[in-house]
Amino acid sequence: MQPASSLPLGQPRSAGSPSFVRAGFLGGNEFGLIVLIVVFATLFTLATKGFASPFNLFTLGRTMGIDILIGFSMMVVIVSGGLNLAVGAIGVCAVMAAGWAMETFGLPWPLGLAVCLLVGAALGAVNGEAIVRSGVHSFIITLATMSIFFGGMVFLSRAEAFRELPPAIAAFGKLRLMGFLSPLLLVAVATALVLGWLYRFTSLGRRMLAAGASPKAAEVSGIRVDRTIVGCHILSGVLAALAGAMLTARHGAAIPSMAGHLGQDWLLPAFLAPVLGGTLLTGGKVSVLGTLLGAMLVSMLTNGLLLLRVGEFWVQAFLGLLLLTAVLLDLGRRRLLARHRIAV
């Protein structure tokens, strides 16, 4: 008997278990975030004066743009199953290096931006290589490099800001489109499109997801997991540097303390956005739109609460609470879906 001839060609999509249905958009994080954003926006508009004013929308958009980038810089390593505590340090180091280059050599801003992104990539590569070669968890490595990068930067710059930057940078930060829209928000949206394209349509993005979801299986399937993880960290460094550049545009100067001590001010927004957005902390699942919406929600809440004259510290406490609630809610949602055998 020739076995080949006896192989029936099936209809792979017809048969199978009908017991699972997909949750779809309405059951996803993204939809929940949109609802929350609409609810809070309405609330703040009604409860405060000035929330919906063109100027507030402009400053809010600027903050959103930066927070979104910070969220992305963390998201791209969370995808690989790791994390990067050094995002803030990398962001500040990158802009300080660019600030120095622009002041010293009189580089125009496009070259300054290039220096900034390159330094971000290089520092990310250092993180990635250290993690891959040592086999130590990214938590420890990036905790160490956070201090090293930041300390090195403070030493080299003597903690002095670079304020004599090309005027185009500050002008970009002040630019208002149609009276209320900051171009920084557009930069963030453009970045989101690029990242969405990366994960959906490119081999590299797919590899990052596979390496994060199951490093062993990915390795045995011919993916170079090590290189992929280094790639994730380089990307994280570039995005952190871009976030730093946007922050510099807002301040009109490169300031060592603009992300707090050791760049720690960035950590809460960095984790909040991806987690709210439904990116799995264990790696392998990503939602670019979710991170974008998560960051928008966080910036909007901060802005609205400050307009309501809630103290800065309460806002921080509130954001921490939000992170916990988000995680718990997501857990509950998953259980509910699992109980009804709905695949996410």
**Where does this chain bind other proteins (CB under 8 A)?**
1-4, 6-13, 15-20, 22, 201-207, 209-210, 213-214, 216-224, 284-285, 340-341, 343
Task: Kindly report the number of other CB atoms within 10 A of residue 51's CB atom.
Answer: 21
Rounded to the nearest 10°, the torsion over CA 146, 151, 156, 162 is 70
Which tokens in the block code for residue 12? Answer: 């792979």
What single-letter amino acid sits at 105? F
CB 284 within 8 A of CB 212: yes
- Which residues are bridge partners to 162 per DSSP? 254
Cβ distance to other proteins smaller for residue 61 or 82: 82
What single-letter amino acid sits at 124? G
H or E element: which one contains 195? helix 183-201
Nearest distance from C-beta of residue 111 to other proteins, angstroms: 23
Nearest distance from C-beta of residue 80 to other proteins, angstroms: 13
Cβ distance to other proteins smaller for residue 10 or 179: 10
Nearest distance from C-beta of residue 122 to other proteins, angstroms: 21
Cβ distance to other proteins smaller for residue 103 or 226: 226
Q: Which residues contact 280 (CB under 8 A, 6 or more apart)?
A: 78, 286
Q: Given its phi and psi angles, is residue 280 left (phi above 0), alpha (psi -120 to 50 degrees) or beta? A: beta
Nearest distance from C-beta of residue 60 to other proteins, angstroms: 34
Cβ distance to other proteins smaller for residue 201 or 314: 201
Nearest distance from C-beta of residue 201 to other proteins, angstroms: 6
Cβ distance to other proteins smaller for residue 42 or 282: 282
Task: Kindly report the number of other CB atoms within 10 A of residue 110's CB atom.
Answer: 10
Nearest distance from C-beta of residue 135 to other proteins, angstroms: 15
Best CA proximity match to 67, nearest among 263, 243, 222, 262: 243
Cβ distance to other proteins smaller for residue 4 or 26: 4
